[in-house]
Amino acid sequence: MTATVDASAATDSTGRNRKANLIAFAVMALLVAIAPFVAYPFFVMQALCFALFACAFNLLIGYVNLLSLGHAMFLGLASYVCAHAAKVWGLEPVSAILVGTVASAALGLIVGALAIRSSGIYFAMITVAFSQMVYFFCVEAPFTHGEDGIQGVPQGLALGLFSLSNPWILYVFVAIVFLFGFLAIQRIVNSPFGEILKAIRENEPRVISLGYRATLYKLAAFTLSAAFAGLAGATKAIVAQNASLTDVAFAMSGEVVLMTLVGGMGTFYGPVVGAVIVVSMQNYLAQFGEWVTVIQGVVFVACVLAFRRGIVGELAARAKVTL
């Protein structure tokens, strides 16, 4: 008797979740479609790249409980490699983006292999240190042009067909990349692989005792997260037509944490909402100079102390659904 009740309650909540997610996705897709008409398109594209970056970061913190404080290395490296591939090797943009993404995935595999045996704060420190190393590399390597960065990256013809120098085509292209990345991450989290990741987050020794090699799963998650962060960085290089030290700097690693925290860690839509908020904040507060950093810090502290679920997490908890 009780079992039947529980089962129907479970189906009920799955149904509710499906419905809520359908609505959320429809709202998001609609906003992506109308955004360039109400806001400055370049700004919206930047926001979409950061949103994807935050979703990639969230794959780790939200579903494996691994806090990376060096994720800028993946965003930045892919951005440089993509810019170099497009400008110097003359690759068309899709291939250049893929090359950048693969470079970050490879970096993720190496860093992950070294860091993944640690957890918690140790893991966080290791990621900081490695990202600093990548930063120094980007300062000194000849192809990144140090302080100048890579400027004037050609947008070119995507797949040889679509001219990305047309702002509307570029916008559609970025929107597709973002939605693809978003859905792919959602798919990964909801797959059997994602279920094991979540089980590792809840009780790692138990998952190991069931015969799963938890370390490999975590490494795969780390590499995937690095790859999606790379996808975001590479796309951003095409959008902004440059790659610079900003994208690989420590502050960027902090910003992605802030985005995810504000929006809601461990929610699909939280990082997107958070990214839009943080990017808007930077945009509209830019006139206040360094106060932006102070305000970001205050928001950080306030979220940690009193608003740990974030915006979407709080909404989802009130509506009793998973978003």
Catalog residues that contact other proteins under the rule CB under 8 A: 65, 67, 69, 114-115, 117-118, 120-122, 124-126, 128-133, 136-137, 139-140, 250, 254, 257-258, 261, 289-301, 303-305, 308
Task: Give the C-alpha separation, 223 to 189, whole Å.
Answer: 14
Nearest to other proteins of 180, 284 (CB atom): 284
Instruction: Please state the closest distance from residue 309 (CB atom) to other proteins, in A.
Output: 12
CA angle 184, 187, 190 (to 5 degrees): 155
Tell me the closest approach of the beta carbon of residue 188 to other proteins, in angstroms.
Answer: 22
Tokens at 142, concatenated? 């000849």
What is the closest distance, in whole angstroms, from the C-beta atom of residue 161 to other proteins in the complex?
A: 42
> Do the beta carbons of residue 99 and residue 85 sit within 8 Å?
yes
What whole-number distance in Å separates Cα of residue 88 and Cα of residue 303? Answer: 43
Q: Which is nearer to other proteins, 45 or 116 (CB)?
A: 116
Q: How far apart are CA 266 and CA 175, in angstroms?
A: 23
Contact 153, 242 (CB under 8 A): yes
CB-nearer residue toward other proteins: 25 or 307: 307
Give the nearer residue to other proteins in terms of CB position, either 93 or 310.
310
Q: For residues 321 and 23, give the distance between their C-alpha atoms in angstroms, rounded to a whole number.
A: 12
Residue 55 Cβ, how far from other proteins at the closest point, in Å?
19
Cβ distance to other proteins smaller for residue 197 or 231: 197
Note whether 50 and 259 are within 8 A (CB).
yes
Exposure string of 59-79, with b = 16+ CB inside 10 Å and e = fewer, is bbbbbbbbbbbbbbbbbbbbb
Distance CA 220, CA 210 (A): 19
Shortest Å, Cβ 141 to other proteins: 10
Nearest to other proteins of 235, 296 (CB atom): 296
Q: CB of residue 314 vs other proteins: minimum separation in angstroms?
A: 16
